[in-house]
Every structure is written in structure tokens, then in C-alpha cells.
């Protein structure tokens, strides 16, 4: 994994963690969460991120 891939993965995972908290708090629905994850994958293209979603 090169530096660019590492930063993409880190940004993806950090943003995903915040989104999960928002779901847990009832601030967003599961449907909104799934749409958000899809957009994150398109934006960051994380090397391993889509394996864990």
C-alpha cells in the first residue's frame, strides 16, 4: 500500500466511523447510511474499505 492509498483508506475509515455513530444515535437511517457508504467508496476508492462495508 502506497502513501496515497493509505490516506484514502484512513479517510474512508474515519468518515465511516462517524457515520456509524450517527446511525447508532438515530440521526440517519440505514438507507441513508448505505447511500453514504456508496458515495464514500466512489470518492476515496479505498484499497480495502469495500471489504468491510
Mean pLDDT of 7-13: 90
State residue 31's pLDDT score. Answer: 97
**Residue 29 pLDDT grade (very low, low, confident, very high; cuts 50, 70, 90):** very high
- Exposed (0-12), middle (13-18) or buried (19+): which is 16, by Cβ within 10 Å? buried
Task: State percent of the chain over pLDDT 90.
Answer: 57
8 A C-beta contact, residue 9 and residue 47: yes
pLDDT classification of 46: cutoffs 50, 70, 90: confident
Could you tell me the pTM of the whole model?
A: 0.78
Amino acid at each position: 500500500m502506497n502513501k496515497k492509498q493509505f490516506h484514502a483508506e484512513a479517510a474512508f475509515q474515519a468518515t465511516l466511523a462517524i457515520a456509524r455513530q450517527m446511525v447508532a444515535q438515530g440521526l440517519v437511517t440505514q438507507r441513508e447510511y448505505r447511500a453514504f457508504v456508496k458515495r464514500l467508496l466512489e470518492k476515496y476508492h479505498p484499497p480495502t474499505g469495500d471489504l468491510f462495508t
